[in-house]
Structure 1
Amino acid sequence: MKISVLINNYNYQHYVSDAIDSVLQQSFPVNEIIVVDDKSTDKSAHILDKNFAANEKVKLVLKDKNEGQLSSFNGGFIASCGEIICFLDADDLYKENYIAEVVKFYQEHPECDFLFCSAEVFGNEERIASCYNNTRDLGYSRIATLYKKAWVGHRTSTVSMRRHVLEKFLPLPQLEDWRTRADDCLVFGASIVGARKFYLAKPLVMYRAHGNNNHYGQKQKRTPEYLDKYKQAVDNLLGFLAEKMSYPSNLYEQAHIEFRTIPKPNEQEFNIYESIIHKSDLLVLNKLSRFLSIYIHFISRGGFLSLVRIKLLWLRNKIQRFTLKLYRLPQSKTNTTA
């Protein structure tokens, strides 16, 4: 099983060597490290050439134009040859057993197409960034992603996937939309092309918090204008991928089938699929049969109490809205009379 690690770098001269060294020092050796420098304005290119040009495992892709993170993903993937592609931001690190754990997981779970793990945050803050409490089979998520923008993944450096998955959606053309936060393209793209995803509940990656992280939450203020632009970028990406995969417009009819690919769905996942079915234009009997399908699966996998809680919250909200209407009605009449 050949392993490629793709490192994207932009102006991280103080960190990129450490990132590469963390891969070279793995207990399970990788086949290649592809380092893409996105025309950094600092001394990154000089440092990379000086320290790693002679290393046979390190392939340097020094771009002559700055085009952003998605462009680096595109170029790095094209230059790679691994069966498993692992991603690493230039300011993060792999723990020494990361690759060994990843290889073991893919070998033991041949159905796994996309794997992400927990991360240990260090630097300006210290904590474990986890998505779930336990290792999970998350099933398929193309319908949840297309209709509810479900984001089934984690930070760039925690992500790996099989080559055949990436071949279905990379390279992507929307470079300007994804100069930063291009890990969304990896997460959304893998879901839409049909990757079965798994989560490994081990903090095998070191995520460096240093105040200048080149991601959406740090580099851009969440102004309404920026959020609108981001939403449009996501819509464009999902639409492009759906068209590329030739999906029919009524893919939502299979939502109940996709939900049942999750062995132990949680409340959030249940709510997503229930909402997709509820908002569809299916006939009443077809909706009911699909509701029954997801209810039975959820309850049979230990979700009975969660389902009761969901429905009680739904009932409480209904009562609150009804009470609010009753409260406003007399006031409205009084104001009209006045």
Structure 2
Amino acid sequence: MVPIVSIIIPVYNKASYIRETLQSALGQAYPNTEIILVDDGSSDGSFEILQEYFEKYPEKILLIDQENQGVSAATNNGIQAAKGEYIQFLDADDLLSPYKIANQIKLLEGQPESVLATCEWRMFKNDPKQSYSIPYGVFQDFGSGLDLLLRFWNNQEMMQPAVYLTHRKLIDKAGPWDETLTINQDGEFFARVLGNADKVCYEPIGKVFYRTPGETNVSQQKSEKATKSLLDSYRCYERELLKFEDSERVRIALKKVYQKFIYDVFPHYPHLIKEAEACIKKLGISQKTYIMGPKFQKLSRIFGFKNALRIKRWLPPRSPLRGK
């Protein structure tokens, strides 16, 4: 029997993009999908667009209308309503290539439920044909989900959450999205998923197209509330992943996570920086660790991490790189 794949799309005020996203979900070559749309109290006409598609494809689409509760609550409601053996998460402004799900289902045939699939993600602004890739080392197989997490943390890399195709039982084992977080909800959730994953299979053909966030989104992510939530999500990493493996390699990687937090926040919110420093001390890793690019690492080796941050603050900004 061909397994059902549930494509869960939480939507909040994405009227400008949701049609394109829905077309990419409806255009999947894999035949046995359901699309679960969860409108999180949109006020920009998004719900009316979702209703239009629901009426046009009632056999394919389930529409849930809820008061604004946040992306985690919307996603959890989508998971609860899903009938699929596999779950595909998709943000309301991102896109899937047509064979993404089909290729990953084929890759997972015969694999246990604890194995999940990934693919490449590419960034774009308006036209996915003009997308570009980030030269990360995550686009490969990994012997375990924890190995992929350590790659993230040791090298300051990431996966866009839509790259994953995950068995429902693996998601149930990880638990729901954390509704107390306001940022990095997906990173915290997939840290738990990957902690439970025995293997990660990379599918090289399928693609996820990740729309670059607008200025409003970026500014919201820099608020004190969001910054505290980010640190809370990193504490969740530590709490959950040390359950799977309390080892020096995991603690070193977690130390780098907290260093990256300080790197991103400095010199703002000194009380949160002090909390992150306390988390580093508690990890008990005396080994020197270095993050970011070669130039900053060189400064850190010569002057120390905090002094390198101070020097970086006063250096003239570099020309921005694509995708950075």
TM norm. shorter chain > 0.5: yes
Alignment size in residue pairs: 260
The whole-number CA distance in structure 1 between the counterparts of 2:106 and 2:41 is: 36
In the TM superposition, 1:59-208 aligns within 5 A as 59-63=62-66, 65-107=67-109, 109-110=111-112, 113-123=115-125, 126-129=131-134, 131-132=136-137, 135-141=140-146, 154-172=159-177, 174-178=178-182, 180-202=183-205, 204-208=207-211
**How far 1:118 sits from its partner (Å)?**
1.1
Shift in Å, 1:181? 3.3
| One-letter code aligned to 1:44 | S
Counterpart of 2:22? 20
Q: Judging changes above 3 Å, is the alpha-carbon distance between structure 1 residues 213 and 100 closer, same or farther for their aligned structure 2 residues?
A: farther
Matches within 5 A, 1:209-228: 209=212, 211=214, 218-222=218-222, 226-228=226-228
Counterparts of 1:36 and 1:212, CA distance in 2: 25
Deviation at 1:142, TM superposition (A): 8.3
SS state of the match for residue 233, structure 1? helix
Say if 1:136 and 1:202 are closer, same or farther in 2 by CA, change over 3 A: same
Distance 2:86 2:135 in 1: 23
- Cα deviations across residues 256-280 of structure 1 (Å, max 9, x unaligned)? 8x9xxxxxxxxx98x98xxxxxx98
Q: Matched residues in 1 for 2:23 and 2:235: separation?
A: 38
Judging changes above 3 Å, is the alpha-carbon distance between structure 1 residues 42 and 193 closer, same or farther for their aligned structure 2 residues?
same
Cα distance in structure 2, aligned partners of 1:110 and 1:128: 30
Change over 3 Å in CA distance of 1:196–1:151 after alignment to 2: farther
Amino acid at match of 1:118: E
Alignment of 1:179-328 (within 5 A): 180-202=183-205, 204-209=207-212, 211=214, 218-222=218-222, 226-236=226-236, 239=239, 241=240, 247=243, 251-253=245-247
Q: Deviations over 1:293-316 (max 9, x none)?
A: xxxxxxxxxxxxxxxxxxxx99xx
CA contact (8 A) 1:87 1:156 kept: yes
1:47 paired with 2:41, answer: no
Shift of 1:109: 4.5
Q: 2 CA distance for matches of 1:153 and 1:221?
A: 17
Could you tell me whether the CA contact under 8 Å between 1:30 and 1:99 is conserved in 2? no
State the distance in 2 between where 1:155 and 1:100 align. Answer: 19
Aligned match of 1:34: 36
Query: How far 1:78 sits from its partner (Å)?
Result: 0.5
Q: Distance in 2 between matches of 1:237 and 1:133?
A: 19
| Counterparts of 1:76 and 1:160, CA distance in 2 | 15
Q: Distance in 2 between matches of 1:83 and 1:149?
A: 32
How far 1:42 moved relative to its partner? Answer: 1.1
1:105 to 1:112, Cα distance in 2 relative to 1, 3 A: farther
Q: Is the 8 A contact 1:2 1:30 kept in 2?
A: yes
**Structure 1: segments with no counterpart, 5+ residues:** 259-267, 273-278, 283-312, 322-338
Aligned pair in 2 of structure 1 residues 8, 149: CA closer, same or farther (>3 Å)? farther
* Gaps in structure 2 of 5+ consecutive residues: 257-281, 286-296, 304-324
Q: Following TM superposition, by how much is the alpha carbon of 1:237 offset from its aligned partner in structure 2, in angstroms?
A: 6.3
Structure-1 separation of matches of 2:201 and 2:148: 17
Q: Which amino acid aligns with 1:101?
A: N
Contact persistence 1:86–1:159 (CA under 8 A): yes
Higher Rg of the two aligned structures: 1
Coordinate RMSD, CA, aligned = 4.0
Q: Indicate how the Cα distance of structure 1 residues 170 and 152 shifts in structure 2: closer, same or farther if over 3 A, else same.
A: farther
Equivalence for 1:329: none
Residue identity opposite 1:61 in structure 2: I
Normalised to the residue count of structure 1, the TM-score between the two structures is 0.63
Q: State the alpha-carbon separation in 1 of the partners of residues 81 and 155 from structure 2.
A: 30
Percent of aligned pairs with the same amino acid: 23
Distance (Å, rounded) in 2 between the aligned partners of 1:221 and 1:33:
29
Instruction: Find the aligned partners of 1:34 and 1:210 in 2 and give their Cα distance.
Output: 23
Task: Give the structure 1 partner of residue 60 of structure 2.
Answer: 57
